[in-house]
Amino acid sequence: MWFTEHGRDWISDDVPDDELNVVKHQGEHFGFPYCHQGDTLDPEYGKNRSCSEFTPPVLKLGAHVAPLGMRFYTGNMFPAEYKNNIFIARHGSWNRTVKQGYDVYRVVLDDKGKVVKSEPFLTGFLVDEKADPPMWGRPVDVLVMKDGSMLVSDDYNGIVYRVSYKK
């Protein structure tokens, strides 16, 4: 089972990263609230603990990017290299000095489930980090449709975008 996890607020602008994790066996512990991002002990709850006690994330997603909806691409519309990639709606940071997230992120896995590449897939929601508001929209979830297109919900605008591919 794959899942995203929000990191703790109020440590710093740049730490901890939000995470992409995968459960491989029953009873696995990913650190919260003692350890964050696999290598950062919590200043309050991490005393007398070690991050080596816990399963580290398979991918750090950026500090405070708020990863919400996540789906594997199972459609046939996009090129073959997108098949079984993970798409994550990163809602965007709210309390970070330099905003980040506000996109749909693509994670490419190899045949053994190891991350080989990650990159922004759908961008343009964050327009000016100093503006109020700094964004055009905030992605919440992704859904793969029967025709292979992808829907992306945006709770800032109250709309759904359809992403398609045409050869």
What pLDDT sits at residue 2? 97
Distance of CA 7 to the CA centre of its chain: 11
Residue 108 CB partners (closer than 8 Å, separation 6+): 81, 85, 115, 116, 117, 118
| Between 130 and 103, the higher pLDDT residue | 103
Q: How confident is residue 129, by pLDDT bands cut at 50, 70 and 90?
A: confident
What pLDDT sits at residue 134? 78
pTM above 0.85, yes or no: yes
Residue with tokens 């939000």: 18
15-72 pLDDT, tens digit per residue, is 999 999 999 999 999 999 999 999 999 999 999 999 999 999 999 999 999 999 999 9
